[in-house]
Amino acid sequence: MTMATRSFLTDRQAEELHKSIIAYLTSLNLATTANTLRAELNLPEETFDLAKAKQYEGLLEKKWTSVIRLQKKVLDLQAENAHLKNEIENAGPLALSRKNQDPANWLPKGPPRYTLEGHRLPITSVAFHPVFSSLASASEDNTIKIWDWELGELERTLKGHTKAVLDVDFGGPRGNTLLASCSSDMSIKLWDPADQYKNIRTLHGHDHIVSSVRFVPANGTAGAGGNLLVSASKDNTLKLWDVTTGYCVKTIEGHNDWPRAVAPSADGRWLLSTGSDKAARLWDIGGTEPECRVVMFGHENFNLCCEFAPSTSYPHLARLAGHEKVPPANSAAEFMATGSRDKQIRLWDRRGQCIKVLEGHDNWVRGLAFHPAGKFLISVADDRTMRCWDLSQDGKCVQTLSGMFDGFVSCVRWAPGVTKDGLAGGDAGDGTPKKISAEANGGLQMRCVIATGSVDGTEGKVRIFAN
């Protein structure tokens, strides 16, 4: 025992240990054992008497309990170290990268990747090119600016409108992407990205401000090969235009006041419009004549924006609506959303029933964008925030981005997905290959990119939020 002990301890430490053991045995009245140990260690009472032993009483117990406490502390520190290491790993760039590899759960985070400045007055609308990294922004300064959102650089400024430009949208026939814009000057203009964004056509026909313009997708019978464009105006009408000829092919009447916003369904058969009459209307344009199928009332002030829900959101919205079955994915107008000056967002089913009211904004709701994966709805408002609503949690607001907008947030757009070959139509406009690569899965690759437009002082700024 002595040899083993001395192999770990110095001579002085060993002597102290031996004396402590003898004192411990003596305190327990184990005199025979203590004397035996004295004899083996050559520590007779003459050298180590009872008075000296008293000085060592309790020392062994103290050392022993100290060891136990230290051992427990070591174990606690090891556990804490493992916990902190796990937190660091989960909060680090690698962990964020792993999380962001799942685009279905991606939400915008601050600060924005870029804040794009150049407009002299507020931004009214933003739109992504369906293939390339180009973004168009419209402004009350009568201009449109084209940006490279990947690089955060201004490419060009488009001039032609004589009053505020209120909306922009990319679309058109496959392989021939166009940019459409509408204005308070009562006109709609078509610009060709493949020809230096030349203004190739101006459409006249509305008798008042044109506030919204959208290309009608070519997927359905009404899409007419992607040649149709829909507009909404303060003259209380919607108009359908053939972009190849510039002719108005249909005028749709029904709103009692200004329809401020219009959105087409993914299959090109339906239109959703809403505005100052506080109503949202669902139009079927698949037949010979457009027909209003449903009118939705519920908002208490002017409505400012509307969107169709993607089919990926149907499982969540069907549960919210209390439907036993989830609608088929090829039915493009099952659920809709509207935003209003009453600070509310309302979710509707195709029967016109309000299935949920989302409350949280403190000012006018200006823009809506559904997450392509269907789980979230993004909204922006005059309360200078962007909010993310989780449709899988009964529409709970799970994120609020504030403190990064200096003024009213007027619009929001989610970048459209791109196909495997990237051929969603059009060119970059200057011959530069900027095509975004897509996954080799034969379907659309989601782009986790959001753009907002806002009023910052007297100027307008575009912000890019990207993975």
What are the tens digits of pLDDT across the range 301-355? 999 999 999 999 999 999 999 999 999 999 999 999 999 999 999 999 999 999 9
Residues ≥6 apart with Cβ < 8 Å to 273: 232, 238, 255, 259, 261, 262, 263, 280, 281, 283, 306
Residue type, 376: F
Q: How far apart are CA 104 and CA 446, in angstroms?
A: 9
Q: Give the DSSP letter of residue 32.
A: H
Q: How much is the pLDDT for 430?
A: 40
Give the pLDDT band (50/70/90) at residue 27: confident
Closest CA to 424 of 130, 129, 179: 130
Q: How much is the pLDDT for 435?
A: 42
Give the pLDDT band (50/70/90) at residue 12: confident
SS3 229: strand
Q: How much is the pLDDT for 187?
A: 98
Q: How much is the pLDDT for 216?
A: 96
Q: How many CB atoms lie within 10 A of CB 111?
A: 11
Q: How much is the pLDDT for 38?
A: 83
Give the pLDDT band (50/70/90) at residue 7: low
